[in-house]
Amino acid sequence: MKFSFSILLLIILCSSINFSETIIVSKSGKVKSISAALNLANDGDEILIEEGTYEEGNIIVKKSVKIRGKGFPVIDGKGDGEVFTVLADDVLIEGFIIKNSGISYLEENAGVRLEEVRNCTVTNNRFINNFFAVYLAKTANCLISNNHIEGIKKRETNSGNGIHLWYCKNITVEKNTILNHRDGIYFEFVRHGKIENNFSKGNLRYGLHFMFSDSCEYRKNTFELNGAGVAVMYTKNVLMEENIFKLNWGPASYGILLKEISDSEISNNLFEENSIGIYMEGCSRITIEQNDFVKNGWALKLMANSMGNYFYENNFVANSFDLSTNSRQNFNTFERNYWANYSGYDLDKDGYGDVPFRPVTMFSMMVEDQPTSLILLNSLFIKILDVAESIVPAITPKALTDPKPKMSSYN
């Protein structure tokens, strides 16, 4: 009886040990293709790809394996279909040059597609000239990190997104560089996503396009020289912190376009040299605090249907217009902001002006109604009108004031 129990215990212990193997793929070796290695592999195995160029069409991963490249082997889709399609949980793809997924007007062909999987990682790869670089659909608990993603900027119709998420949750996108795609990063129907320390530049449309994605956060990203800047729409409970939005210039370009956003926070960001720093339409209960608005065309454009928002302790410096609105009413709160154009005084020396500041100028209202009047910017006539309006307001919203403007900028 004791002998039988010992054998049974030994069998149980052996069954719990992970006997994973490493399968080496090499042009001169026994296994010459990734697809062949996948046929040989079991869940938990590692597939190590030696240097070289591999042209295998669509590589479909249905096993929980780690696929690593040595010396950045090239996986070339040759412009036809997808490169990697991952259909298994717990897959790692690391260390490759992945290029030339096929352009399609019917399918979202990607360098790497993760479809209805969990706990996968795509890291330390170089994506070149793919329709979509990384595409995640109905996927959870995955990491997309440290990838260099570069498209060939042509037209929106034949350029997909760099990193695209649809119907996902608990996804982290961090430390990626995304250049020359349609949208750098795209979130739609995503929950609890994190976008951190990414650099998104030169994309045809948005550096970040963010829709119907509640309870997400993005921190310490840079969005630069994108066609229309960044768009965050139809979403609630978003944290936007310590990002840089700069040089997003054009007739419809923004640092951030906010549309139908609520219960969110925008703090400690830099908005520099954008056509419009922040555009807000249909937004409510957003706290915008401790941001720097520097050298923008418009620092803020606040539409009449945005209510219950709070603007605290921001710096407004060298903008053509600090604030513009299309309403003579105000249902938002401005307080303790630094306005470089404020010319008031501080007799009690508490660091705040003794008279309120009206950030909406008469000229900004004129431009909102007649955009062609922008040609008069910086003319003496307009400056005289703005001074007169600040003394006896007739057009600008009387209720839109900062009652405690900061006398010096926040560090």
- Residue 128, C-beta contacts closer than 8 angstroms, at least 6 positions apart: 97, 98, 99, 100, 150
pLDDT, residue 154, reads 75
CA dist 101 and 127 (Å) reads 10
In the 8-state DSSP scheme, what is residue 8? Answer: H
Report the top-level CATH class of 56-360: mainly beta
pTM, full prediction: 0.89
Instruction: Give the length of the chain.
Output: 411
Query: 398 pLDDT exceeds 80?
Result: no
pLDDT in tens, 91-141: 999 999 999 999 988 889 999 999 999 999 999 999 999 999 999 999 999
Query: 24 pLDDT exceeds 90?
Result: yes
Task: State the burial class of residue 313 (Cβ atoms within 10 Å of its Cβ: 0-12, 13-18, 19+).
Answer: middle
pLDDT, residue 1, reads 46
Q: What is the largest CA-CA distance in the chain?
A: 105
Locate tokens 């030169």: which residue? 202
Q: Which of 201, 157, 206, 153 is nearest to 179 (CA)?
A: 201
pLDDT, residue 295, reads 96
Q: What are 201's strand-pairing partners?
A: 179, 224
Domain limits, the chain? 56-360
CA dist 84 and 87 (Å) reads 10
First to last CA, the chain: 78
pLDDT in tens, 288-309: 999 999 999 999 999 999 999 9
Q: Confidence class of residue 329 from pLDDT cuts 50, 70 and 90?
A: confident
